[in-house]
């Protein structure tokens, strides 16, 4: 039996879940989303994800359709279907349906709320250690990359261009600075210092990014939130990309050239062990701050 999805107040089979062709998410990409990992049946960093959802909604002038407790109830019921497994929840809120296709929206519009969970097989440490290849690309996106908007065409094309070049991720360059990936945040290690670009409207405030910074702080790994120039990127000892479902992956090749010694670096090894420990704790039902 297929799992049920949540759509506008009901749990229904995915085949039965239908949205209207007048939905503004479909017509304009007018909506926001979240991806929340689940380990051993426990939602990871739910508060952080729901806070970011609130921020994204606020930025696009939408009310949050649910309180924290309501969201938690919906997502707990959704994920309970797959028991104590690892999962990834996709959650999307669009502005809703309007009969007339007009960029401006009416005041009385009702949002479309959708959530689905799927089994997740997180990469093993060994798989992560294999690393990824990345290419740099000029960032063609808008000035509101801090919003987790469903309008992802630039990211889709960047991933496609990266794949064409035999890479798994594109690193965006804006005004001479490396900001983030098409689907992840960026870290470098230079002379043992972990560096990630500061939060701004040029990048998504990634939850994994936040966790990595917190783990660095708690475990005495020197870190800084500072700009990363293309020269910094080229001469980095280590480059990592972070995201909720792929966690923290070392980049072993940048634009066809090896990064550092060409293997996963020692700071990455340390961070990966800390991240894995955090997931293990959650899987046992222990509180993860």
Ligand X SMILES: Cc1ncc(COP(=O)(O)O)c(C=O)c1O
Mark the segment that binds ligand X (CB under 6 A) among 78-86, 97-105, 201-209, 277-285. 201-209
Residue 169 is a binding residue for ligand X (CB under 6 A): no
Q: Tokens representing 57?
A: 């909604």
CB of 185 to ligand X, least distance (A): 5
- Per CB under 6 A, the list member of 91, 147, 178, 207 interacting with ligand X is 207
Catalytic (active site) residue 148: yes
Q: Tell me the CB-side half-sphere exposure of residue 175, using CA atoms within 13 A.
A: 3
Which of 98/116 has CB closer to ligand X? Answer: 116
Task: Compute how many residues bind ligand X; rule: CB under 6 A.
Answer: 14
Residue 131 is a binding residue for ligand X (CB under 6 A): no
Residue 202 is a binding residue for ligand X (CB under 6 A): no
Helix (H, G, I), strand (E, B) or coil at 195: strand
Look up residue 111 and give its DSSP letter.
Answer: P
231-270 residues in contact with ligand X (CB under 6 A) are 242-244
Residue 46 is a binding residue for ligand X (CB under 6 A): no
Residue 56 is a binding residue for ligand X (CB under 6 A): no
Mark the segment that binds ligand X (CB under 6 A) among 69-77, 183-191, 192-200, 223-231. 183-191
Mark the segment that binds ligand X (CB under 6 A) among 82-90, 118-126, 179-187, 232-240. 179-187
What is the rounded CA–CA span in Å between residue 190 and residue 205? 22
For residue 86, give the nearest of 37, 48, 149, 29 by alpha carbon: 37
Contact in structure between 244 and 183 (CB atoms under 8 Å): no
- Per CB under 6 A, the list member of 94, 117, 208, 253 interacting with ligand X is 208
Residue 87 is a binding residue for ligand X (CB under 6 A): no
CB of 207 to ligand X, least distance (A): 4
Contact in structure between 106 and 30 (CB atoms under 8 Å): no
Quick count: other Cβ atoms within 10 Å of Cβ 18? 8
Q: Torsion angle, CA of 184/203/54/98, rounded to 10 degrees?
A: -90
What is the rounded CA–CA span in Å between residue 283 and residue 289? 14
Kindly name the residue from 148, 217, 270, 284 that is annotated as catalytic: 148
Contact in structure between 114 and 5 (CB atoms under 8 Å): yes
Q: Which residues bind ligand X (CB under 6 A)?
A: 35, 155, 180, 183-185, 204, 206-209, 242-244
Catalytic residues: 148
């Amino acid at each position: 039996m297929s799992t049920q999805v949540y759509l506008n107040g009901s749990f229904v089979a995915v085949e039965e879940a239908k949205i209207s062709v007048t939905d503004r998410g479909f017509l304009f990409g007018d909506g926001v989303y979240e991806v929340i990992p689940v380990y051993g049946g426990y939602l990871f960093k739910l508060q952080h994800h729901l806070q970011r959802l609130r921020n994204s909604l606020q930025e696009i002038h939408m009310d949050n359709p649910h309180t924290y407790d309501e969201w938690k109830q919906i997502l707990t019921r959704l994920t309970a279907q797959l028991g104590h497994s690892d999962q990834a929840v996709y959650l999307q809120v669009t502005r809703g349906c309007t009969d007339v296709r007009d960029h401006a929206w009416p005041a009385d519009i009702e949002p479309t709320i959708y959530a689905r969970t799927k089994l997740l097989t997180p990469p093993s440490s060994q798989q992560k250690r294999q690393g990824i290849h990345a290419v740099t690309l000029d960032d063609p996106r808008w000035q509101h990359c801090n919003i987790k908007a469903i309008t992802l065409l630039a990211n889709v094309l960047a991933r496609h261009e990266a794949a064409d070049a035999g890479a798994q991720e594109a690193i965006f360059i804006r005004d001479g600075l490396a900001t983030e990936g098409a689907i992840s945040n960026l870290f470098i290690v230079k002379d043992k210092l972990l560096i990630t670009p500061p939060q701004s409207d040029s990048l998504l405030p990634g939850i994994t990014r936040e966790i990595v910074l917190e783990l660095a702080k708690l475990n005495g790994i020197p870190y800084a939130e500072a700009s990363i120039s293309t020269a910094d990127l080229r001469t980095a000892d280590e480059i990592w990309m972070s995201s909720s479902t792929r966690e923290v992956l070392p980049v072993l090749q940048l634009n066809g050239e090896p990064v550092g010694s060409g293997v996963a670096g020692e700071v990455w090894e340390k961070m990966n062990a800390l991240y894995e420990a955090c997931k293990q704790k959650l899987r046992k039902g222990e509180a993860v701050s």
